[in-house]
Amino acid sequence: MQGFCSVAYWRKEQLLPQKYKMKNYILSLLLLTMAMSATAQISGNGSGISVNPVTPPVTGATAHLTDPSSYNISRGLDEISKGHYDKAVSYINKELEDDDENGQAYLLLSDIYYQQGQYGDALQNASNALLYLPHKQKSNIATAYYVRANVYMDLKDTLQAINELTAAIKSDPSQEKFYVKRGFFYNMMGKDDKSLADFKHLIKSKDTTIASMGYIGLGTRSINMKEYGDAATYYDKALELSSDPDVFSRAHIGKAISYAALHQIANAADEYITVLRQQPDRENVPSYLAQLADSDFVAVEARVRHQESVTINKSYWHNMLGMLYEQTYRYRQAASCYRQTFAVNHDSVTALRLAHCYSDAGMPDSSLAYLDSVKSKDDALFKCEKIYMLGYAGRYAEASDTLTSLLRIAPDQSASYELRGFFSMMQRNYVKAMKDADMAVSLADRSPSALMFRAHLHLIMGDTAAALPDFKRAQPVLTDKMDGPLALYFLGDKPAALSQMESLLRSPSIKPDDIYSAVCFYSLINDTSKAVDCLSRALQMGYRKFIQIDNDPELDKLRKMPSFNQIIKEYRNK
């Protein structure tokens, strides 16, 4: 069983309802961790990175409202520009008290609600704006459609977003940003001919920043079509046209993806480093650079070390080296780099990274010590991290108690019961574990994770027949998951199960945690020799969760084997 291999998913997505997901440094770090630890997905472009680096930023309506119709509208517009939405709404409501058919007031409200994520209100007020705006206010009418387009895009309804943008363009063809957005939306939908038309329109613009976005769009389209040389040429053209910081970063990120797809990893690394030299806080770029290390660690490490040697901001590049090492499971080396950063900054983000590295390196005492230096210990997300670390430290009772305190806040989270059941399982309290497993399934009866956890428990308790219904319900959605072969095996299709596991193990993106799951699979089906082979491979790749290995009941069959104990002894202190 993956066990704690699935805790990262629980920790970031399942434990807390949305209102508890606070915007603080821990949340930012969790998002960074997710980007670093997730298996790099190849989205048909061969780059190893599933990202559209050039989606244009959302622009609110307020900057484009023309000819304010009254004092209250002007004051509302001014307050919005300062970010004072409550004051802005007060002025706008005063206007609506005098004139409840003022289209500009509804337009401003639609944008405010959009910026605050209140999509229903944003759509309703944009519709009111379209109803009441005079026909001659073509720019404002177009902007109302644009707000609606942004809402639908956030709601993942790309087709309706395109329809709204087309209406905006029809109302006011002069607003070139509409073509920018629509071109990228067409690109995302694979409508290459339509995206090409919009991007060709943009490159004729007299506004060099708009024209450069047209070339960036052509570059992204070329990546989608696997025309990587053409993509780099288009990105270079964008850089020639505009010195805009956003164009600069998007173009270099696009070039990096193109180089990575051509397996020119050193060149790709240089492009990301170019961005980071100018914009060290550019979102996601550090994790993109770290992901390149999976393809050519030596080349990427050399580039980062060179940058460290020639810059005065050595702490930043120490941290970047740490990310490279962590990405490639060199946890002790990563911790060494992070310690250098922490010695300078004493910041909570680096402390949390150190806690994770030491946890993954099988050094729980050091992990918990750094975790205790993190601020905001009353924060619910800190408690999530505490649970995570306590579990890896084998302090299952403490982890369970902390999790129980969070369940009082969010009692309807299936994955939290699943995890608490896991803690009980590791303590061999199977009755208590099964109680939580049943609760997890009752709260999410279609959750493959909850169903497979309960099935695992039944197997450990020697009741294969009881596991079969859960295997049957979970198996259809497990075809590319490490638990899929186990369900197939016990449902009677042993050849398919073994073939699927071998295929998963051949994946170039497989991680040590995945291989540990294979150890459990082979142990449960009594192929102890294969189980030990997989354990050796996981340890060679950097798996060091020895407390997990020592306590996992699914490995009981292996512990009497001399080869198993010899491998553990060999790697325990490496």
Give residue 424's pLDDT: 96
Q: State how far Cα 508 lies from the chain centre.
A: 20
Check whether 37 has a pLDDT greater than 60. Answer: no
Which of 525, 530, 571, 527 lies closest to 549, judged by CA?
A: 571
Give residue 55's pLDDT: 52
Check whether 28 has a pLDDT greater than 60. Answer: no
Position 378 confidence tier, pLDDT thresholds 50, 70, 90: low
Nearest 5°: the CA angle 471, 475, 477 is 145
Interval 464-476 mean pLDDT: 94
Give residue 377's pLDDT: 62
Task: Round the average pLDDT of the chain to a whole number and report it.
Answer: 86
Q: Contact, 376 vs 398, CB < 8 A?
A: no
Q: Report the distance separating Cα 260 and Cα 245, nearest Å.
A: 23
Dihedral of CA 85/152/34/43: which sign? negative
Q: Which two tokens stand for residue 67?
A: 């000819």
Position 434 confidence tier, pLDDT thresholds 50, 70, 90: very high
The per-residue pLDDT for range 548-558, each reduced to its tens digit, is 999 999 999 99
Q: Report the distance separating Cα 549 and Cα 546, nearest Å.
A: 5
- Comparing 10 with 149, the larger pLDDT belongs to 149
User: In 19-114, which ranges are E strands?
Assistant: none
The 10 Å Cβ neighbour count of residue 547 is 19
Position 18 confidence tier, pLDDT thresholds 50, 70, 90: very low
What separation in angstroms does the CA of 54 have from each of 215, 422, 539? 11, 42, 39
Interval 537-552 mean pLDDT: 94
Interval 92-119 mean pLDDT: 92
Give residue 309's pLDDT: 92
Give residue 64's pLDDT: 64
Q: Which range, 26-40, 135-149, 469-483, has the best average confidence (pLDDT)?
A: 135-149
Q: Which two tokens stand for residue 160?
A: 């309706």
Check whether 542 has a pLDDT greater than 90. Answer: yes
Q: Contact, 162 vs 187, CB < 8 A?
A: no
Give residue 347's pLDDT: 87
- The string of DSSP codes covering 366-430 is HHHHHHTT-S-TTSHHHHHHHHHHHHHTT-HHHHHHHHHHHHTTSTT-HHHHHHHHHHHHHTT-H
The per-residue pLDDT for range 248-266, each reduced to its tens digit, is 999 999 999 999 999 999 9
Give residue 220's pLDDT: 92
- Residue 17: strand, helix, or coil: coil
Contacts 24+ apart (CB under 8 A), 165-168: 167/142, 168/142, 168/143
- The string of DSSP codes covering 153-198 is HHTT-HHHHHHHHHHHHHH-TT-THHHHHHHHHHHHTT-HHHHHHH
Percent of the chain clearing pLDDT 90 (strictly above): 70
Q: Contact, 438 vs 448, CB < 8 A?
A: no
Interval 150-171 mean pLDDT: 93
Type of residue numbered 122? A
Check whether 40 has a pLDDT greater than 50. Answer: no
Q: Give this prediction's pTM.
A: 0.79
Position 374 confidence tier, pLDDT thresholds 50, 70, 90: confident
Check whether 495 has a pLDDT greater than 50. Answer: yes
Interval 170-178 mean pLDDT: 92
Check whether 292 has a pLDDT greater than 50. Answer: yes
Check whether 132 has a pLDDT greater than 80. Answer: yes
Check whether 78 has a pLDDT greater than 90. Answer: no
Give residue 16's pLDDT: 38
Percent of the chain clearing pLDDT 70 (strictly above): 88
